[in-house]
Structure 1
Amino acid sequence: MVQNVYNEKVKHFRTALIAALSVFFLLAGCASGDNDSVSAQVAPDDSLRRIPFRYAKRLTMTKIGDATLIDIVKPRGAMHGLAYRYLLVPKGAAVPEGYPDALMVRTPVEKVTCGIGLHVTMLEELGILDSIVGIGRAEWVGNPEILRRLDSGKIIETGMSNAMNMETMVGLQPDLAFVYSSGGEYDVHEQLLAMGITPAVTCMHIEEHPLGVLEWIKFFGAFFGKEAEAEAFFAQTAERYEALERRVRGRFGERPGVIVGHGARGVWSTHGSSAWFIGFLQDAGADYILEDPEDYEENLISFEHAMSVGLRAEYWVNPLYTAMSLSDLVDDDSRYAQFLSVWKGNVFNNNAATFENGKNAFWEIGMSEPDVVLADLVRIFHPELLPDHELKYYRRLVK
Structure 2
Amino acid sequence: MVRLSYFIIFLFILIACSTNQRDSSEKNNSTKYARGFEITDYNSFKKITVFNPWEQAKKIAFSYYLMNKGQIIPDSLKKEKVIFTPIERVICLSTSHIAFLDAIGETAKIKGISGSQYVNNNEIRNKIQSGEVVDVGYDSGLNYELILQQKPDLVLVYGIGSEVTTYVRKMEDLGLTVFFIAEYLEESPLGKTEWINCIAPLFGKEKEANLFFKSIESKYNLLKEKANSITEKPEVLVGLPYRDAWWIPGGKSYLSNLIADAGGDYIGKDNSLDESYVVSFENLLTMAGNAKVWLNVGSVKSKAEIIATDERFAKFPSFNNARIYNNNNRMNPSGGNDFWESGAVYPDRILHDFINIFHPGILEDSELIYYREIN
Matched, 1:353 2:330: yes
Identify which of structures 1 and 2 has the higher relative contact order when contacts are C-alpha pairs closer than 8 Å and 6+ apart: 2
Q: Which runs of 5+ in 1 are unaligned?
A: 1-42
1:271/1:180 CA distance change after superposition, 3 Å: farther
CA positional deviation for 1:232: 0.9
CA positional deviation for 1:99: 5.0
Partner of residue 62 from structure 1, selected from 18, 40, 43:
40
1:295/1:345 CA distance change after superposition, 3 Å: closer
Which residue is 1:201 aligned to?
180
Aligned length in residues: 354
CA positional deviation for 1:110: 0.8
CA positional deviation for 1:96: 5.1
Cα deviation per residue 1:148-176 (whole Å; 9 max; x = unaligned)?
A: 21121111111122321222222223111
1:289/1:334 CA distance change after superposition, 3 Å: same
When structure 1 is superposed on structure 2, of 141-150 and 222-231 the one drifting more is 141-150
Matched, 1:363 2:343: no
The aligned runs of 1:312-331 (5 Å cut-off) are 312-321=290-299, 323-331=300-308
Matched, 1:50 2:13: no
Tell me if the contact between 2:188 and 2:254 (Cα under 8 Å) persists in the aligned partners: yes
Moved over 6 A (4+): 43-46, 271-274
CA positional deviation for 1:247: 2.3
Matched, 1:395 2:355: no
CA positional deviation for 1:350: 0.8
Q: Distance in 2 between matches of 1:81 and 1:192?
A: 23
Q: Distance in 2 between matches of 1:100 and 1:325?
A: 58
Q: Distance in 1 between matches of 2:330 and 2:46?
A: 37
Q: Report SS of the residue matched to 1:363.
A: coil
Q: Which one-letter code corresponds to 1:245 in the other structure?
A: K
Tell me if the contact between 1:142 and 1:357 (Cα under 8 Å) persists in the aligned partners: no
1:171/1:46 CA distance change after superposition, 3 Å: closer
- After TM superposition, the score normalised by the length of structure 1 is 0.80
Partner of residue 91 from structure 2, selected from 113, 118, 121:
113
Q: Distance in 2 between matches of 1:80 and 1:320?
A: 30
Q: Distance in 1 between matches of 2:171 and 2:157?
A: 10
The aligned runs of 1:1-399 (5 Å cut-off) are 47-74=25-52, 78-79=56-57, 82-95=60-73, 98=76, 102-187=80-165, 188-249=167-228, 251-269=229-247, 275-290=253-268, 292-298=270-276, 301-321=279-299, 323-355=300-332, 359-386=336-363, 388-398=365-375
**Alignment root-mean-square deviation, CA:** 2.9
CA positional deviation for 1:290: 3.4
Q: Report SS of the residue matched to 1:258.
A: strand
- After TM superposition, the score normalised by the length of structure 2 is 0.85
Tell me if the contact between 1:317 and 1:349 (Cα under 8 Å) persists in the aligned partners: yes
Q: Which one-letter code corresponds to 2:221 in the other structure?
A: E
Q: Report SS of the residue matched to 1:87.
A: strand
Q: Distance in 2 between matches of 1:271 and 1:109?
A: 36
1:182/1:126 CA distance change after superposition, 3 Å: same
Tell me if the contact between 1:117 and 1:140 (Cα under 8 Å) persists in the aligned partners: yes
Q: Distance in 2 between matches of 1:246 and 1:45?
A: 43
Q: Distance in 2 between matches of 1:46 and 1:185?
A: 36
CA positional deviation for 1:353: 2.3
* Identity percentage of aligned residues: 32
Which residue is 1:34 aligned to?
none
Tell me if the contact between 2:168 and 2:178 (Cα under 8 Å) persists in the aligned partners: yes
Q: Which runs of 5+ in 2 are unaligned?
A: 1-20
Q: Report SS of the residue matched to 1:239.
A: helix
Tell me if the contact between 2:249 and 2:255 (Cα under 8 Å) persists in the aligned partners: no
Q: Distance in 2 between matches of 1:104 and 1:340?
A: 57
When structure 1 is superposed on structure 2, of 95-104 and 251-260 the one drifting more is 95-104
CA positional deviation for 1:339: 2.9
Cα deviation per residue 1:232-265 (whole Å; 9 max; x = unaligned)?
A: 111111111111112222x232333222221223
Q: Report SS of the residue matched to 1:263.
A: coil
Q: Report SS of the residue matched to 2:202.
A: helix
Q: Distance in 2 between matches of 1:271 and 1:166?
A: 35
Q: Distance in 1 between matches of 2:291 and 2:266?
A: 9
